[in-house]
Structure 1
Amino acid sequence: MHDLFACAGLLLAAAITPGPNNLVVLHEAGHGGVRAAAGAIGGIVLGGLALLAVVATGAGTLLSTHATLRASLAALGAAYMAWLGVRLLGSTSGRASADAMTLPTSALGLFGFQFLNPKGWAMVTTVVAARPAADAAGYLPLVVLFTAIPLACLLLWSFAGRRLAVHLARPRSRRRIDAAMGVLLLASAALLLIDL
């Protein structure tokens, strides 16, 4: 049972900390409220569950045995996040987050993005390795965790985005928020590269 608590702690740490998924939800909720972020949240959670299924059926073993493949995936994801961060930092318009946030925002786009998110791969692979199961039913506790924890964390990010909506309407405040989001994306990218 303690391994399930450890997995929950790891998943909570990964889901609550800033990353591309959280920033998309923050952005969507900032523009249209929590309801507007619902599709993004659904796509992220369902994509995470699909990633869990892929890793549980063998992709995690492939990544753990092929260091070059794992490093390449992490480097590509870090480069993409760094590119987004630089675009947010470099924009001088008050619409930087709308123009520079080139992450997908639709449910389907975010579902697919989970397979490009190196933070997601690292977290899912670690959790599956820590709690392997003999059959599909053995993964049911992880399915519950991978639904409840990211959902709760993304809802918190959407409430934060809704609270920022007033500030996003002002160009000067928006530039500051865009810069903060850019820095967070660059920091996430740097952390991924450090782990290579």
Structure 2
Amino acid sequence: MSFYGVTDLWTYVLGALGIILLPGPNSLYVLSVASARGVRAGFKGAGGVFVGDTILLALTALGAASLLRTYPALFIVVKYVGAAYLAWVGINLLVAAVKKLRAGTSVIDAASDAAPTVNMNHPFKRALLISLLNPKAILFLLSFFVQFIDPSYATPAVPFLILSFIVMAFSAVYLSTIIFLGARLAQLFRARHRTSAGLSSAVGGLFVWFGVKLASASLS
């Protein structure tokens, strides 16, 4: 029994919710932007993530994963470009945290005054690049989605759109939540320089780890 070509809908809902809640470079970047520059900038970053995810979903539907498998060299190029970019974002966050801690100012306040240093002057573009430069996301989306699409359904685009809408709705709610959380954290950390620097350093370290993880990823 399927729902417009979607098999086991509630299992998919639970799985999609778990996937969205797992921390990743997209959500951490949006949280950092909201903490440093406020709710409006946070939603600009969320818009970049949303557009990037939409593009990845469209590429998945068009068979991008098969293309990457057919041409391993293309996967290697995209993989290392994505890894380098994530690591670059992380290193800049770490450097900014150290500089502002030595200067005795809040990392959150300083990030607003020196946005280019921490890669937050164009949150939409940055978030879009972070979202797109991850070929493993395409492969993951394909392997996850196909489990819940009835191959005998007459119009495969319908269940794909339903599944896409569900995961994007979860993402919108989740990103909105962490944006307001980030703005609240900014208020709490303004007078706590060490805590603020520690948070920025932790996020920067995670971005470097994301880059290393992506650089070591394979198609298998």
Task: State TM-score, norm by structure 1.
Answer: 0.78
Q: Distance in 2 between matches of 1:73 and 1:139?
A: 25
Closer/same/farther in 2, CA of residues 108 and 61 from structure 1, 3 Å limit: same
Contact 1:43–1:111 under 8 Å retained in 2: yes
1:120 aligns with 2:125: no
Query: 1:189: how far off?
Result: 2.1
Would you identify which runs of 4 or more consecutive aligned residues in structure 1 move more than 6 Å? none
Residue-by-residue CA offset, 1:84-127 (whole Å, 9 max, x unaligned): 22222233222475444326744355345532234533432333
The unaligned stretches of length 5 or more in structure 2 are: 1-6, 101-106
Q: Judge which range, 102-111 or 53-62, deviates more.
A: 102-111
- Aligned to 1:18, the other structure's residue is in SS state coil
Closer/same/farther in 2, CA of residues 115 and 36 from structure 1, 3 Å limit: closer
- Aligned to 2:90, the other structure's residue is in SS state helix
Aligned residues: 195
Query: 1:35: how far off?
Result: 4.1
Q: Which amino acid aligns with 1:153?
A: Y
Identity, % of aligned positions: 29
1:26 aligns with 2:31: yes
1:136 aligns with 2:157: yes
Query: 1:4: how far off?
Result: 6.9
Q: What's the C-alpha RMSD, in Å, of the aligned pairs?
A: 3.0
Question: For 1:2, which of 2, 8, 24 is the aligned residue?
Answer: 8
Bigger radius of gyration = 2
The unaligned stretches of length 5 or more in structure 1 are: none
Q: Which amino acid aligns with 1:117?
A: N
Q: Distance in 2 between matches of 1:74 and 1:67?
A: 10
Contact 1:74–1:118 under 8 Å retained in 2: yes
Task: State TM-score, norm by structure 2.
Answer: 0.71
